[in-house]
Amino acid sequence: MPIKDKHYFVEFANYTIEDIKRMYDKFPKELVDKPENWPGLKAPIETNLQSLLCACRGANMCPIPDRMIMFAKSFQKSLKNILDNIIANQGRIIESAGLNFIITLQERTITKYEITDGRLIANSMPNPDDQGKVMITPGWLKFSCQSLLDFLCDGNLNQLKKCQDCRKFYIQNKLYERQKYCSVCSKKNHTPKGIQAERTRLSRVAEKKRRDKERRKVLFEEQYKRLIKGGYSKKEAQKLAQDLVIEQMPVIE
């Protein structure tokens, strides 16, 4: 799995409904079906992930967008419940139907690796011990399950957090143990406006002092060299150059 997908389960859990629908925007529009036409589904279908998974493709094995979107939304809801439980239980894993579904789904595939053009490529395929099962593994489902289980096995579950601003999930940065916001909301300033304004003012004053100091240094060197060439001694040139700099650029505290 590419490094960028290491915590893909967090990304998928934070998807909006529009994000989920967008995944199937390019699918043929004629592949449409209604939930009431799905045979053999256990009610309620919205919460029965296994039934939804089995019904995501039509008789010709083409994914039906309406079914896939409903399955993706139901899977996301189950995934959010898993993550909420981990946070509520301070990093402890609680067994649930949703988590068992993900474990079972992942066990039905195995990963083979091969070197191609100097790169290591991972390919998932049906587990030979589970050939009787027909698995549907769209990319979002494959990466969500694999990245979640990898994270759970790593054991750093206390790093899973929920942003206090936008309520999205995020993985806490190890360097910032008191981090309360996701990377997006962390960029916003949570400091009161009065303190923020004073910090901005002090920062601008400090920057102006730094620039003035650099300008005085350049001006002093120019005046010092000019006076030395004019025949003054080093001591005299240094004192006159300092006086000229102060005259042209007085120090303001």
What is the rounded CA–CA span in Å between residue 185 and residue 165?
A: 7
Alpha carbons 245 and 202: distance in angstroms, whole number: 25
Contact 225, 241 (CB under 8 A): no
- The Cα 247–Cα 219 span in angstroms is 11
Chain centroid to Cα 176, Å, comes to 15
Mean of all residue pLDDT scores within the chain: 79
Give dist(CA 157, CA 168) in Å, integer. 16
pLDDT for the residue numbered 58 = 61
Amino acid at 228: I
- DSSP-derived secondary structure letter, 38: -
Is the confidence at residue 80, as pLDDT, over 90?
yes
Average of per-residue pLDDT across 24-51:
66
pLDDT surpasses 80 at 60? no
| pTM for the full predicted model | 0.64
Identify the pLDDT of residue 46. Answer: 55
